[in-house]
Amino acid sequence: MKAIAPGKLILSGEHSVVYGRPALAMAVNRNAETLVTMDGAPDRVSFELPDLGAARESFTLRALRDFHDRVARNHREFLEGRLSIRDVLHKPVELFQYAYITLLDGLHLTMGNGAGGVNVRMRSNIPIGCGMGSSAASIISVLRGLGHYYRTEFRPEWYARYSLEVENMQHGRASGLDTFVSLHGGCVMFRQGEFRELPLPRMPLYIVNTGHPESSTGEAVSAVARRTGGAACALWDEFEAATLAMEKASRENDLPAFQRAMRTNHRLLEAIGVVPARVSEFIAEAESAGAAAKVCGAGAVAGDAAGMVVVASETSPAALCERYGYELMTVRPDPLGARIV
């Protein structure tokens, strides 16, 4: 069985979504892909991550269950402040080991599908750690592929719940936004687990890869919580106003209003400390040329790179990107979400 799940872009509301404010996001045509096949070794599950240059690893069901329990304990210690989020998982494959047992036990499945074991092979063209939801898309593609392989009924709410549980092991306290957008596709306004589907934006948007942030999403979220004091911070109300203004501008296809809301969102992201100085300089130059731009993920609390920056402009920022050494990417909205192909 082969399953794919799209990445996403947050157009407005990153970080504030963790505190119950709305976020505007859309799925894009960068995908994670999982191929699930029967394997000759009985009672074993194998994982392959060729994009990361990782060798195939194989595990017994007992070893996976022991590992799942260990990771769950690590996450509890993270929530209690006794471990860093980076100490919950140590290798990329561990996320998918945890996902396998989460699905198997959550749906009360047995491992066999006729005979032999299972091989799970994952590939992705979504940049990792750059704010495009690569973790959530990879998890969703694995869960969707395994669920179809084991011939279970597809209920999106089940997959959303299991995916969020797994994503928390990577990010600490995931909002659920990445999971929802990858699962359902399209453009949505998301708030506290609830969503409203919206028309796909028709604005001229460009995506700029400023490089892999030195800090993880979990680290950025934790740092912002410390700096702002958490849910009581008044800045979250300003984030909400900017998000609602951007949604209205998108619906009305009003580019100047859309750009104004994007610039406001950028200033707020600077205020909470997730826009590195070099990225801020790039955005200032884009604004001087008549564009609007902002980080569209967690950003970074260390280093010079901040992952993806979205640019709203009638003209391409190619020359500016070349001067900064940033990659200019072409993406299109994905209206379909996770699916079997």
Residue pLDDT tens, the chain, 341 long = 899 999 999 999 989 988 989 999 999 989 999 999 998 777 889 999 998 888 899 999 999 999 999 999 999 999 998 998 889 999 889 999 999 999 999 888 876 545 568 999 999 999 887 778 899 999 999 999 999 998 888 888 888 999 999 999 987 877 788 899 999 999 999 988 788 999 998 889 999 999 989 988 778 888 999 999 988 899 999 999 999 999 999 999 999 999 999 999 999 999 999 999 999 999 999 999 999 999 988 899 999 999 999 999 999 999 999 999 999 987 788 999 999 99
Selected from 3.30.70.890, 3.40.50.850, 3.40.50.620, 3.40.50.300, the CATH number assigned to the domain covering 201-329 reads: 3.30.70.890
Q: Looking at residue 266, what is its pLDDT? A: 97
Q: Looking at residue 12, what is its pLDDT? A: 94
Q: Are residues 204 and 39 in contact, defined by beta-carbon separation less than 8 angstroms?
A: no
**Residue 250: partners with Cβ closer than 8 Å, 6 or more residues away:** 11, 24, 187, 198, 199, 201, 202, 203, 258
Q: Looking at residue 217, what is its pLDDT? A: 78
Q: Looking at residue 58, what is its pLDDT? A: 92
Q: Looking at residue 16, what is its pLDDT? A: 92
CATH topology of domain 2-196+334-340: Ribosomal Protein S5; domain 2 (3.30.230)
DSSP string, 202-268: -S-EEEEE----SS-HHHHHHHHHHHH-GGG-THHHHHHHHHHHHHHHHHTT-HHHHHHHHHHHHHH
Query: What are the residue ranges spanned by the domains of the chain?
Result: 2-196+334-340, 201-329
Residue 19 CB coordination number (10 Å): 20
What's phi and psi for 126, nearest 5 deg? -90, 125
Q: Looking at residue 268, what is its pLDDT? A: 97
pTM as predicted: 0.83
**DSSP letter assigned to residue 110:** -
